[in-house]
Structure 1
Amino acid sequence: MEITTNIILKTAFKLLIAGGLLIAVSCKRDPSQPGREYMPNMYRVASYKTYEPNPNFKDSLGARPIVQGTVPRGYFAYDAPNTPEAYEASLKIAEFPERYKTISEKDFEEGKRQFNIYCAVCHGEKGDGNGVLVEKGKFAGVPSYSSASRPGLTPMSIYHVITYGKGVMGSHAAQVLPHDRWKVVHYVLHLRNELDNKN
């Protein structure tokens, strides 16, 4: 038993000495010299910095241009032009894009909040076309969202109008982000449903 303990102590002492020597030869006092690196790829990454010249490309640029057509993950690319024909085409798309078919209660409330900030001044809080600016005589002929007033309204046509505007209504693309526009669209259709159920 005592022999086994001695062997274990001697082995531990030898390992301790070997570890100390390993550390001693790995370190140098000159900070400009890295010393020995046992796994250099873990310390020195082979990638190039963004604005560093890169000899692997003809233009020597480290920052590579984005591939044409690249969009962020989850981004809805709406590339319809701002033309009457594109608006007419949007009236024929009766469905939401798959990603935006349903929204959470939180997103619905965000759509309501943004509608009340940007849309209600003209369209009214109920979507009946009687906003504050209409009541003060600043604008006339703001349509109601009801099916009787706007029979062909579709989610895509609402999105198109928020993006580009229509008639005297200007574009709200600078105020409402693309993914938030779908929240507003859901809220507009909710108001439309409420108006239709009153009649």
Structure 2
Amino acid sequence: MKSLTRWIPVLALVPSLAMAWPWSKDMANQISVKPQEGPDAVRPFPENSVPMTGTPTTPYVHDGDAAMTLANPNPPTEKSVAFGREMFKIYCVPCHGDSGTGDGLVGEKLIVRPFDLTAPRVQKEVPEGYIWGHITFGGALMPSYGNDMSPSERWDVVNYVRHGLLTDPTAKKRDMTTTENK
């Protein structure tokens, strides 16, 4: 037993010594060209190129508070509201429901009911940038859809929530008494 305890420190070093063998660096030291190496490492911009600064519908904001000051670049035209309705049906109806009151199939399973988008606070008090910011960055329970929809699509959803949701004949409120809670 004493001879075994003498070898324990040596056996503990074996895994670290195995990493020192030449084959342990094969993946890092291969023939392939690495980033920022070679004659074409940093290419200059082509002659007469114009830098992209973005469009008015792609603001750079860090959080929902900064989004509150944004003005809606998409006017609430019939086309914008109709497209916003389609986006609303895809992304918002599962939680907020067709009516926007938080009676969606997913929303009824949540402990906290999703926000009522027909409430006077959403319809009249908060700026449109606030709604856009919630779609972009999410909220306490709401996921972020900033990577799923373009900024223009998010503004169309804002136009639908503000200018079409209350008057939409297809936005029916679900009868919660007939649904089963499984």
TM-score exceeds 0.5: yes
Superposition pairs for residues 108-123 of structure 1, below 5 Å? 108-123=81-96
In the other structure, the counterpart of 1:81 is 62
Q: How many residue pairs were aligned?
A: 127
1:132 aligns with 2:112: no
TM-score of the two chains, using structure 1 as the length reference? 0.52
- The answer to whether the 8 A contact 2:81-2:164 is kept is no
* 1:60 Cα deviation after fit: 6.4
Structure 2 stretches lacking a partner, 5+ long? 1-38, 169-182
Q: Which runs of 4+ in 1 moved over 6 A?
A: none
Deviation at 1:62, TM superposition (A): 5.2
* Equivalent position of 1:36 in the other structure: none
Q: Deviations over 1:66-125 (max 9, x none)?
A: 64xx334x4423222126x436xx1xx4x843x42332x233221101100001111111
CA-based RMSD of the aligned residues comes to 3.2
Q: Does 1:106 align with 2:100?
A: no
Amino acid at match of 2:53: V
Shift of 1:190: 2.9
Tell me, what secondary structure is at the counterpart of 1:100? coil
Q: Give the aligned partner of residue 11 of structure 1.
A: none
- Match for residue 164 of structure 1? 137
Give TM-score scaled by structure 2 length. Answer: 0.57
* Amino-acid identity (%): 24
List alignment gaps of at least 5 residues for structure 1. Answer: 1-52, 54-58
Which residue of structure 2 aligns with residue 61 of structure 1?
44
> Which of residues 114, 129, 138 is equivalent to 1:142?
114
Larger radius of gyration: 1
- Residue-by-residue CA offset, 1:130-169 (whole Å, 9 max, x unaligned): 111023x145221101334646332111111111111111
Tell me what 1:71 maps to.
53
